[in-house]
Amino acid sequence: MSTFPNSPKLIKGGLVIVDAATARVLRIISLQYNSDSLTRSLQPQTAGGEAKDRVEPMRFKGPAVETIKLEADIDATDQLEFPDQNPNAGRFGIQPELALLESLVYPTASQLSAVDSQAGSGTLEIAPMLAPLVLFIWGKNRIVPVKVSDLSITEEAFDPALNPIRAKVSLGLRVMSTDDLGFSTKGGSLFMAYLQTKEQLAAQARTASFATLGIGGIG
């Protein structure tokens, strides 16, 4: 707890897992420590504007493909110091927290069993298993549907029973746009809200003058 009573409340980034079919919130994952850095890459989807298309100006084919990378630390040291507050830390270390993150890239055991039963009964066409919708939350202005494209875990310390008690997690996320989700879905509407927030923030940026660029105008 901060010793300064008027200091702002620290909010945490995290992930919200939503049922893709019903839009019901299934789990909320908050990062134990906010990442010190966030790397975002945006690749525009365009057509025209190339040498072979000189008559045709550049056009957007859809939203940019945006990827997000961040690292997060998970540490059970404080929890082990006060076992009454979190007895699971003494029994499992940080394995529950790691398993929850890993569930984002695995189908469930029941889904795998259902697919096996369908295959055993002679079903000719088996639909791919539906993953939950994952939302990346990084403050109120950045709530966006994502797909976990990469998850790397480095376990750095262990207790006497070899339970991991400290780890560094690297997350790679790909933003899911209306191209992926459509407009009529919960994820599609969240992406549109995310895009509109970008436009509203861009409108708040100060506009430079021609003089700043060392020119009098474009004529």
Predicted TM-score (pTM) of this structure: 0.85
Q: What pairs with residue 45 in β-bridges?
A: 62
The 10s digit of each residue's pLDDT in 186-200 is 999 999 999 999 999
The 10s digit of each residue's pLDDT in 101-153 is 999 999 989 989 988 888 888 887 787 888 899 999 999 999 999 999 999 99
pLDDT in the model for residue 1: 44
Average confidence score pLDDT of the chain: 88
Angle (CA) 183 188 189, round 5°: 90
- Enumerate the domain spans of the chain: 14-108+132-203
d(CA 165, CA 75): 6
- Please name the residue that has the structure tokens 């006060």: 82
pLDDT in the model for residue 121: 87
